[in-house]
Amino acid sequence: MIENLHTSQISVGVIGLGLMGSSIVAALLVSGHPVKAIAPLPEDMALGPHQIEEQLINCEQSGLLSRSVNSYLKQLTVSEDYNALQDCRLVIECVIEILDIKKAIYRKIEEVVAADTVIASNTSAIPISILQQHVSRPVRFLGIHWAEPAYMTRFLEITCGQQTEILLAEWVYALAHYWDKEPTLLKKDIRGFVTNRLMYAVYREALTLVENGEATIEDADKVFRYDAGSWMTLMGVFRRMDFLGVPDYVEIFKNVFPKLSNSDNVPAIMQEMIRLKARGVHTSHGLYDYTSEEAKEWNDAFTAFNQDIYKLAAQYPGDKIKGSV
C-alpha cells in the first residue's frame, strides 16, 4: 500500500470536533486533504467550524498557508451524518476516552466506509489492541496519537494493535510525513505508548517531590523549563546521554533510581483537583490559580510559543545531522 501520495486525492474523516479534533482537522486541511468532519455532539456542530477557522487563522499568521483561509475551508465538510465518510481512505476517531462511546462510533463508521478504509483512534489512554476488538476488521485499525496543537507540533505516534496489518501502518507512517510530522511507528501496543510512558513518569516524580515538601510547584516547573527545556527540542534522552558522556550516568542511576517514586496511587494533589472540579486555565483554577486575563494570556502565549518552537525545530533537524542513524 506504500505509494506516491497526493494528499489532495485522499479524503480523511475526523470524528469529534473538540479542541483536539478540530486541531487535527486544521492540520489535515493545511496538508492538502479534503476533510470530512463528523460532529457527534450538538456543541461540536455549534463550535467546531469556528474553532477550525480560528486554528487556520493561526496557521496563516505562522506562515503555514500557501493560499487564503477560505480556500482551505472549501476542502472541509462538517456534518452530523456519518454517510459523509463514504469516500474516506482514513478515518480518525477523536472523542472522549470512554470505551462504550468509541464502540458505538466504530459501528457507525463501519456501516458507511469501504472495506479497505483505515480506521484510527487518537486515544492516549486505551490500548489499541482493546479498541480493535470492537471493529469487524481489526487488521485495519491502529492508533494515530497527535499532540496539541496538531497543526503546530512535529510529534506523531502511530501504534499497531496485536492484529494491525503492518502495511497499513506503514502507509499511515508515510502519509504522516506529508503532514510535516516526525512520526514514530510502534509495532507493539504498549500501555500509554512512548510519550505518555515518559511524561507520566515525570509527572509522578514532580508530584511526589511537591507532596513530600521537597520542592514547590513553582520550583519544579522552573527546573523542568530551564534544564530539560533547554535541550529537548534539539535532542532526545538517549542523544542527551551520548552528549554528556554515557559512563557518567551509571553511578547516578545506582544512587538515584532507588529514591524515585514507584507509587501506583493517584497523588493526593490530583485527587483534590478532581474534588474541586478544577481544570486549570479552562476554569481559572488548577495547580495554579488564574484570573480570566491570566488564563487568556497563557493561551495566547502557548499559541505564540508553538509557532516559535515549530520553526526552531526545523532549523535543527536532529536525525539529519551527519552521523545520525
| Per-residue pLDDT reduced to its tens digit, 52-104 | 999 999 999 888 899 999 999 999 999 999 999 999 999 999 999 999 999 99
**3-class SS letters over 195-249:** HHHHHHHHHHHHHHHHHCCCCCHHHHHHHHHHCHHHCCCCCCHHHHHHHHCHHHH
pLDDT given at position 321? 55
Fold of 197-318: N-(1-d-carboxylethyl)-l-norvaline Dehydrogenase; domain 2 (1.10.1040)
CA distances from 193 to 7, 119, 139, 238, 298 (A): 27, 18, 19, 18, 28
7-191 carries CATH number 3.30.360.10? no
Q: Residue 60, CB half-sphere, CA atoms under 13 Å: how many?
A: 13
pLDDT given at position 233? 85
CATH 1.10.1040.10 in the chain is located at 197-318
| Per-residue pLDDT reduced to its tens digit, 9-35 | 999 999 999 989 999 999 999 999 999
Low-confidence ranges of the chain (pLDDT < 50): 1, 322-325
pLDDT given at position 316? 78
pLDDT given at position 3? 57
- Render 39-59 in DSSP notation, one character per residue: --SHHHHHHHHHHHHHHHHHH
- Distance (Å, whole) CA 286 – CA 221: 14
pLDDT given at position 163? 96
- Distance (Å, whole) CA 18 – CA 67: 25
CATH 3.40.50.720 in the chain is located at 7-191
